[in-house]
C-alpha cells in the first residue's frame, strides 16, 4: 500500500500527497481485504511452494503495517531462519516493528524499485509480495531487483490488483468538474493494469525476459464484501492519495458510496467490490 504515497511524500513536487502518519493505524484497522486475500491465496498456492532449503530466508516486499507479513509467517515451515518485511515508508516500518516484530520477523526500509542494497543480493530463498505492485510504476526494475535478491532456485510469489470497481468509482469522481481539481494525478493512482488487455501475457513475458522460470501468472476474478459502509469509508480514507480538503472529505466518501449503490453493490452483507487480482508464481 505504500510505494506511490511515500514517493510523493519524499519528493518536493507539488503533487498531492498522502499523510501516512495516522493512516498507518487506520490502514491497519481497515485493510481486511488484503489480509483476507493473502490468507486465501496462500491456502490455494502454498501446497505448490518448494521449500528446497532448510532454514529459509524470506523477504516480504511492501510489508506495510506488518499484519500481512504475520499471516505469511503462519504458512512458512517452522524452521525458517528469518522473515524480513521491507517497505519504502519508514513510518510503516516502525509501526510494523513495534506491533509485529519479533526474534525472527524484522521490518526494514527498502524501495524495491530503487537500488538493491548489496547485502540483499542473492540473499533470499523466497520472496513474497501481497497487494503492493499496483502501487509501483517500474515493474521491470522491481521484478529485476527481486530476481537479484533471490538465491539460485529461489521462489517468487506475488499478488496485486488489476481492475477494481474501487478504481472505477474513483475515476468516475476524478473526471467530474467538482472533484477533478483535487485529483489531477488520478491516472497515477490505479494499478497500471486497471485498464489493460491480457495483463497475464504481458507480465509473464516481462518475468521471462528478466530470467524467471514462470510457473503461473494469472488473473483471478474476485468478490469481497466490506462488512459495512463505515468500514468501506475507512479503507477509502486509508488508501487516499489525493489532496482533498478535510472539510469536504466526508462528501467525497458519500459520493463514493452512492456510486456503489447505483451499481447495486451495497446490501445487507455490506459493500461489495468486484476486482481482478494478479497472481504471480515463479522461480529463479
Binding site for a second copy (CB under 8 A): 44, 162-163, 168, 171-172, 175, 193, 195-201, 218-223, 262-264, 274, 276
Residue 21: count other Cβ atoms within 10 Å of its Cβ. Answer: 9
* SS3 category, 157: strand
In terms of CB distance, is 102 or 181 closer to a second copy?
A: 181
In terms of CB distance, is 29 or 218 closer to a second copy?
A: 218
Greatest C-alpha distance within the chain: 58
Q: Please list the helix, strand and coil fractions of the chain in percent, rounded to the nearest 5, in that order.
A: 45, 25, 30
> Considering only CA atoms, which of 190, 200, 182, 156 is closest in space to residue 249?
182
In terms of CB distance, is 88 or 271 closer to a second copy?
A: 271
Q: Shortest distance, CB of residue 102 to a second copy, whole angstroms? A: 33
Radius of gyration, CA atoms only, the chain:
19
Q: Shortest distance, CB of residue 74 to a second copy, whole angstroms? A: 21
In terms of CB distance, is 141 or 274 closer to a second copy?
A: 274
**Position of cell 506511490?**
4
Q: Shortest distance, CB of residue 280 to a second copy, whole angstroms? A: 13
Which residues neighbour 200 within 8 Å (Cβ) at sequence distance 6 or greater? 217, 218, 219, 278
In terms of CB distance, is 110 or 279 closer to a second copy?
A: 279
Q: Shortest distance, CB of residue 171 to a second copy, whole angstroms? A: 6
Instruction: Rounding to the nearest 10 degrees, give the CA dihedral for residues 9, 10, 16, 20.
Output: -10
**Beta-sheet strands, E only, within the chain:** 57-61, 82-87, 105-109, 124-130, 150-164, 213-226, 266-267, 270-283
Q: Shortest distance, CB of residue 209 to a second copy, whole angstroms? A: 18
Q: Shortest distance, CB of residue 277 to a second copy, whole angstroms? A: 9
In terms of CB distance, is 15 or 171 closer to a second copy?
A: 171
Amino acid at each position: 500500500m505504500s510505494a506511490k504515497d511515500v514517493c510523493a511524500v519524499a519528493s518536493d513536487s507539488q503533487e498531492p500527497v498522502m499523510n501516512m502518519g495516522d493512516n498507518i493505524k487506520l490502514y491497519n484497522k481497515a485493510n481486511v481485504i488484503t489480509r483476507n486475500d493473502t490468507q486465501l491465496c496462500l491456502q490455494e498456492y502454498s501446497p505448490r511452494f518448494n521449500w528446497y532449503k532448510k532454514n529459509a530466508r524470506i523477504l516480504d516486499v511492501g510489508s506495510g503495517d506488518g499484519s500481512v507479513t504475520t499471516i505469511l509467517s503462519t504458512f512458512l515451515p517452522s524452521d525458517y531462519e528469518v522473515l524480513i518485511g521491507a517497505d519504502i515508508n519508514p513510518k510503516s516500518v516502525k509501526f510494523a516493528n513495534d506491533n509485529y516484530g519479533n526474534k525472527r520477523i524484522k521490518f526494514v526500509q527498502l524501495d524495491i524499485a530503487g537500488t538493491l542494497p548489496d547485502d540483499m543480493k542473492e540473499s533470499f530463498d523466497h520472496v513474497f509480495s501481497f497487494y503492493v505492485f499496483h502501487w509501483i510504476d517500474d515493474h521491470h526494475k522491481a521484478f529485476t531487483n527481486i530476481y537479484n535478491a533471490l538465491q539460485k532456485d529461489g521462489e517468487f510469489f506475488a499478488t496485486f490488483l488489476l481492475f477494481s470497481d474501487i478504481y472505477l468509482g474513483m475515476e468516475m469522481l476524478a473526471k467530474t468538474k467538482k472533484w477533478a481539481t483535487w485529483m489531477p494525478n488520478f491516472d497515477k493512482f490505479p494499478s497500471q493494469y486497471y485498464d489493460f488487455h491480457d495483463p497475464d501475457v504481458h507480465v509473464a513475458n516481462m518475468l521471462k525476459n528478466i530470467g524467471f522460470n514462470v510457473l503461473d501468472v494469472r488473473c483471478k476474478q474476485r468478490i469481497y464484501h466490506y462488512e459495512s459502509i463505515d468500514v468501506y469509508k475507512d479503507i477509502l480514507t486509508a488508501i487516499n492519495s489525493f489532496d482533498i480538503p478535510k472539510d469536504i472529505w466526508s462528501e467525497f466518501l458519500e459520493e463514493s458510496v452512492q456510486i456503489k449503490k447505483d451499481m447495486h453493490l451495497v446490501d445487507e452483507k455490506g459493500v461489495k467490490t468486484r476486482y481482478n487480482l494478479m497472481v504471480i508464481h515463479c522461480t529463479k
